[in-house]
Amino acid sequence: MKYEPHDYQKYTTAYIEEHSVSAIFLDCGLGKSIITLTAINNLLFDSFEIHKVLVIAPLRVARDTWPGELEKWEHLHGLIYSVAVGTEGQRKAALLQKADIYIINRENVEWLVEKSGLPFDYDMVVVDELSSFKSYQAKRFRSLMKVRPSVKRITGLTGTPSSNGLMDLWAEFRLLDMGKRLGRFITNFRDAYFVPDKHNQQIVFSYKPKPGAEDAIYRLVSDITISMKSTDYLKMPECVINEVSVRLSAKEMECYKTLKDDLILSLDGQDINAQSAVGLSNKLTQMANGAVYGDQRDAGLDYIPIHERKLDALEDLIEAVNGKPILVAYWFNHDLNRIEERLHKRHIPFSKLDTADSIKRWNNGELPVALVHPASAGHGLNLQSGGSTLIWFSLTWSLELYQQTNARLWRQGQEADTVVIHHLITKDTIDEKIMSALKKKDKTQSALIDAVKADLKI
> Could you read off the pLDDT of 144-154 as tens digits, one per residue?
999 999 999 99
Instruction: Summarize pLDDT for 256-268 with one digit per residue, the tens.
Output: 888 787 776 666 5
- 152-167: average pLDDT: 85
On whether residue 38 sits in a domain, the answer given is yes
Q: How far apart are CA 423 and CA 445, in angstroms?
A: 21
Residue 65 contacts residue 85 (beta carbons within 8 Å): no
Q: What is the pLDDT of residue 269?
A: 55
Q: Which of 203, 233, 263 is the last residue of a domain?
A: 233
On whether residue 276 sits in a domain, the answer given is no
Whether pLDDT at 295 is above 70: no
Q: Which of 207, 233, 259 is the last residue of a domain?
A: 233
243 and 160 in a single domain? The answer is no
What CATH code is carried by the domain that includes residue 23?
Answer: 3.40.50.10810
243 and 198 in a single domain? The answer is no
Give, in order, the Cα–Cα distances in Å from 353 to each of 60, 319, 329.
11, 21, 10
218-223 long-range Cβ contacts below 8 angstroms, 24+ apart: 218/448, 218/451, 218/452, 220/181, 220/182, 221/23, 221/169, 221/173, 221/181, 221/182, 221/452, 222/451, 222/452
Q: How far apart are CA 231 and CA 412, in angstroms?
A: 10
| Residue range of the domain that includes 176 | 7-233
On whether residue 452 sits in a domain, the answer given is no
Instruction: Summarize pLDDT for 336-354 with one digit per residue, the tens.
Output: 999 999 999 999 999 998 8
Q: What are phi and psi of 215, to 5 degrees?
A: -65, -40
181 and 243 in a single domain? The answer is no
List CB contacts of 262: < 8 A, sequence separation 6 or more.
Answer: none
449-452 long-range Cβ contacts below 8 angstroms, 24+ apart: 449/25, 449/27, 449/161, 449/227, 449/229, 450/227, 451/214, 451/215, 451/218, 451/222, 452/25, 452/218, 452/221, 452/222, 452/225, 452/226, 452/227
pLDDT band at 299 (very low <50, low <70, confident <90, very high): very low
12 and 132 in a single domain? The answer is yes
Strand 21-26 versus strand 225-228 pairing type: parallel
332 and 217 in a single domain? The answer is no
218 and 243 in a single domain? The answer is no
Residue 58 contacts residue 157 (beta carbons within 8 Å): no
Q: Which of 62-71, 264-273, 327-336, 381-390 has the highest mean pLDDT?
A: 327-336
221 and 78 in a single domain? The answer is yes
Q: How many domains does the chain have?
A: 2
* Amino acid code (one letter) for 184: R
List CB contacts of 438: < 8 A, sequence separation 6 or more.
Answer: 395, 397, 399, 402
Whether pLDDT at 433 is above 80: yes
Q: How far apart are CA 180 and CA 157, in angstroms?
A: 19
Whether pLDDT at 290 is above 80: yes
188 and 322 in a single domain? The answer is no
Q: How far apart are CA 236 and CA 239, in angstroms?
A: 8
Instruction: Summarize pLDDT for 82-122 with one digit per residue, the tens.
Output: 999 999 999 999 999 999 999 999 999 999 999 999 999 99
Q: What is the pLDDT of residue 451?
A: 59
Q: What is the pLDDT of residue 345?
A: 93
User: For the chain, what percent of residues have pLDDT higher than 90?
Assistant: 49
Instruction: Summarize pLDDT for 169-207 with one digit per residue, the tens.
Output: 999 999 999 999 999 999 999 999 998 877 777 777 778
193 and 82 in a single domain? The answer is yes
Q: What is the pLDDT of residue 160?
A: 73
pLDDT band at 445 (very low <50, low <70, confident <90, very high): low
pLDDT band at 45 (very low <50, low <70, confident <90, very high): very high
The average confidence (pLDDT) of the chain is: 86
On whether residue 217 sits in a domain, the answer given is yes
Which is more confidently placed, 302 or 445? 302
- 25-51: average pLDDT: 90
Does the CA dihedral 430-432-433-435 come out positive or negative?
positive
Whether pLDDT at 130 is above 80: yes
